[in-house]
Amino acid sequence: MPNRVLQVLVFVALATGGFAIGTTEFGTMSLLPLIQRAFAIDESTASHIISAYALGVVVGAPVITVIAARMSRKPLLIGLMAVFALGNGLSALAPSYHWLIVFRFISGLPHGAYFGLASLVAASVVKPHRRTQAVGYVMLGLTLATIIGVPAATWLGTLLGWRAGYWVVTAIALAAGVLITFFAPYQGVHGDAHPRRELSALARPNVWLTLSIGAIGFGGVFAVYTYLTTTLGEITHMSPAYVPIILALFGLGMTFGNMFVPRFADQAQMPTAGIMLTWNMVALLLFPLAAQHAVTVAIDVFCIGVGVSLAAILQTRLMDVAGEAQNLAAALNHVAFNAANAIGPLLAGAVLAADFGLTSTGIVGAILCLGGLVMWALAWSYDRREAVSAAHTKIG
């Protein structure tokens, strides 16, 4: 079988796992009203289901990566998909709200570690100058989930009950495990692999700076996306029948971005990251005006989706600055994004509670992107100082 075909099969296998994760992460937001009615709980209490999953990601990414430092990547990926499938299957069977909280936490545990390892495996099967593109292909699974997986899970949930949505995710996760078993390459454990080696990433300032770019800069996207459906109804006065089209445009923007932006990042990583942060800032700054009309909000939401391609760039950058602690650094990228998923909606919610209006979420998002740009500038400055220091050391 030609090498190119094998690469594609590897990407498909790894992206299928991302598709399952994206479907459950974003799909739960759509299923929340159904879950709320089923367990007779209020909206605030129901939101803890999403928080439990995010907490699982934050806890699972570093803990699993460090503990499994001496495991080879392929069996670990299969194991992570098995745990993910189990967590979603148990979610579908949850007898009460409190048990659902526990099972959502379990479902979130493999998330960060999976994406981190999948990105490393994808990057390993291509030439060095195509690494960011390879990571982007893995992320396509996540973006396609917003276009196909979430609507399908939501439709089935509406038709057959919310539990059906989680059964769909369980089936996709099991399929991903099978595909990884057949197509992902086996990579032996590095001879020096050790938990302490992975933890060494935490001693590198540029790892923290890069994580800060994602945690702060990406908060802007979530500040707007969390309240997008409500904004479309109350500000744009859009019929509920057309709201899924706008949400799909966000997913299409993500897909477009992950297909094309990484090509530029492979040639100029930090400049491309800065451009995408600026792109997001402008798109979010325009959101209050764009939200007034259906056509302009559709264009703006697509542009915000394109900016999500920054995730693949930061994933590759973490591989570059983490030294020998590749696994942990790659997994921590998704901890940063889940931090953004908490920071953005929290700040936007505070502004809304102060009666600044729904479109103010765009201003909050733009300010967070500006914060991400500040961290980007600090990270790039640190790079340059390190390069100068290394050059002086070499001359001396």
What are the distances in angstroms from CA 83 to CA 6, 29, 88, 105, 150? 26, 21, 9, 11, 21
Do 4 and 132 have their domain in common? yes
- H-helix or E-strand spanning residue 152: helix 150-160
- H-helix or E-strand spanning residue 94: none
pTM over 0.75: yes
Do 136 and 219 have their domain in common? no
Do 206 and 265 have their domain in common? yes
Among 159, 193, 227, residue at a domain's last position: 193
Q: Is 184 left (phi over 0), alpha (psi -120 to 50) or beta?
A: beta
Do 139 and 250 have their domain in common? no
Helix 111-124 vs helix 310-321: crossing angle, to nearest 10:
80
Do 242 and 361 have their domain in common? yes
Do 312 and 359 have their domain in common? yes
SS3 356: coil
Token pair recorded at residue 268: 């100029």
Among 193, 228, 262, residue at a domain's last position: 193
Do 163 and 282 have their domain in common? no
Q: Which residues contact 300 (CB under 8 A, 6 or more apart)?
A: 283, 286, 287, 290, 291
Do 326 and 187 have their domain in common? no
Domain count, the chain: 2
Question: Which domain does 89 fall in, by range?
Answer: 1-193
Among 193, 222, 248, residue at a domain's last position: 193
Which class for 383: exposed (0-12), middle (13-18), buried (19 or more C-beta within 10 A)? Answer: middle
Do 356 and 251 have their domain in common? yes
Do 253 and 122 have their domain in common? no
Do 316 and 266 have their domain in common? yes
> Residue 382, Cβ neighbours under 10 Å: how many?
16
Domain at 211, CATH number: 1.20.1250.20
Mind listing the pLDDT tens digit of every residue in the chain (396 residues)?
457 778 888 889 999 999 999 888 878 777 777 888 888 887 667 777 877 888 888 888 888 877 877 778 889 899 999 999 999 999 999 999 999 999 999 999 999 889 888 888 888 888 877 878 888 888 888 888 888 887 788 788 888 888 998 999 999 999 999 999 999 887 766 555 556 666 666 667 888 899 999 999 988 888 888 788 788 888 999 888 888 788 889 889 988 888 888 888 888 889 999 999 999 999 999 999 999 999 999 999 999 999 988 988 898 888 777 766 667 777 788 788 888 877 888 888 888 888 888 899 999 999 999 999 999 999 988 888 876 666 656 555
Do 235 and 108 have their domain in common? no
